[in-house]
Structure 1
């Protein structure tokens, strides 16, 4: 019996509700497999914790989290807490502290999920975005001079190191090489305007590409790829992007796959020196918190991504198949998908389908 210790940070708003359903699916998967076990420790960190303590997480939070095999995060955000405080005080602190240099975002349209593109089907939307996750535009380097004066200056500096950029590029090339027969990697750039950072990005992309002669490559400006995601999403397989560009285009990708209720992600420490962190990216949605209206699919998909990272077990794909079964059946859907089911009822329905597939 293999036991995995999971740190659980439900966070704010709907985070607690969707987290319950993700853990419900994890526990069922472990029960049906019979040779693994998950133990959980919960941490109250987030915006509500900040309002009580002035901190998004404990000062020794990273030391505490080091002892876990993985981290599950529900959602972070609250109207009275500025976004830059919630982001830098918890998410970016964990990402950078544990060198989670890759943010992995699947953009996959499941059968039965709504798509805003009238002529696109599931076979047309199935790609992955690799977002650099600890440097770039979110490095936190800069400052404010002459605050609140007419000559006030805001400086925000992007940081791209060769070591980290090469590491992210190699991860992306490796994934493109093995993901499927297409073997295609697209780099998102803006080197016509950002004549240092993105020129450097393009150079490293080309250098690493020489080690992967079988992978087809292309570089596309971020404004153009935003258009092409809409016009021809079927052209993409693996996309690599800087922190800011990746953040933007993955939300566009989420719209293609049915909305943020399907948007799962993993923050990966690819060397396995520290735990990786897995989170849906839909936010805390305080307007619907506590009402049982939240779509738990992104959280359940996120839990499946954690399984992939820990186990590399092909049976975990049955979780996605179970989600698809529920979508196609159409009986247990939350209001954002046109249904009347509660968060818990959708989780129960997915568990029912998963059990039918694995028993």
Structure 2
């Protein structure tokens, strides 16, 4: 799976002869081949595609990259020289670059060495990546199924005395065991008073009876991410715990119900936020309703109070409101939804009913 044609198809309309892709995520999106960090460059022109990398990756690139000329960079043939060869061959005068990803130092070097004008195109690339095709969705659904299988296994391990770190480690192992290529991000496992930290780091704290355990995790399959959060209780819950949980669930369902192509990200966020505010917990929901997911775990567009733009059909967005009471507890429930013309499709199947282990 690659998106060379999709990228090439918008160049003329934006006055571009080519785009230069140095960011790991965009290189993968274009070529379908993963090389880490800055170990690769892809160029998409109106008529041809190129992929440059070093000797560690050229054989693998030849096996996986389709519809592109592959060249090897070395001391005698630095990236800038290879790119200039393409610039001369393709008569490129305006080349897009990833202004939101490229370092200032790299931009300075490319600006000095490349024989064309460099034009910012990150927003254009984000717009293309925002709308997932069927092949992308199938990878994301498979990644979601893997994460859910890991969750099902892990529920039997959550009990008093087990530490947050142990549960996090088991989640990672289980996702890899069931076929994940990698984690989407470092898993979050927080319990009891640590649950009020939305992005808390798993610690040596033992889980105790009467606490919530919040687990936020995901994995990659086919280069695409899954993302989910479930909060479970151990032993028993208080009335306050049950109220907070049910409020978060009601807010999540309200946001999902509001999600539809053409509706703004702010409107989706607002539908969930009103539920939490009306229940008296408004100050304890500090983040947004959701973010897009894809090649990267955080993409665009987002369901945030500041996003006044309509969400496009085909966008894949997390649905993850939460309530965090400092020093006491936290609850977050997260699914992933696909925006459609009729509403949205929830690709997360794991139960959201309050589970007391």
TM-score bracket relative to the smaller structure: under 0.3
TM-score for both structures, normalised by structure 2? 0.23
Structure with the bigger RCO (C-alpha within 8 Å, sep 6+) is: 1
TM-score for both structures, normalised by structure 1? 0.23
Which has the larger helix fraction? Answer: 1
Greater Rg by CA: 2
